[in-house]
Amino acid sequence: MDIASTIFNALQPLLWVIPVLILIYIIKTPWFKGCAGERIVHFCLKRLPKSDYKVLKDITLPCESGSTQIDHIVVSKYGIFVVETKNMKGWIFGGTYQPMWQQTFF
């Protein structure tokens, strides 16, 4: 038995650490957090009564600079609601007629 196989056999019980570290890295990325947040919101919106609400997901609209993507649009007899999902901790303050809203992170 050579030294390389001895080292490999000694480290083999620790090989599970590499996939776990990769998984933790992926979960911490903004991309994953965004996808997870959108899925949670979509799951909640799907639970609305279908007789009163129509939920549209991932709508792309043309605009002056190319196109823009809207996460969710909810159409109902109560109004049309545009939902942009951000999976971040904090508060957003703003009013209907304020051009700029304020974001506070925890």
| Residues whose CB is less than 8 angstroms from the CB of residue 34 and which lie 6 or more positions away in sequence, other chains included | 85, 86, 87
Residue percentage of the chain with pLDDT more than 70: 99
Q: How many domains, in total, are found in the chain? A: 1
Helix H or strand E encompassing 11: helix 3-11
Q: Does residue 37 surpass a pLDDT of 80?
A: yes
Token readout for 87 is 């999976």
User: Residues 39-81: pLDDT tens digits?
Assistant: 999 999 999 999 999 999 999 999 898 999 999 999 999 999 9
What pTM does this model have? 0.63
Instruction: Give the residue numbers spanning the domain of 42.
Output: 3-105
**By the 8 A CB rule, do 53 and 91 touch?**
no
Instruction: Please report the pLDDT score of residue 1 as a whole number.
Output: 59
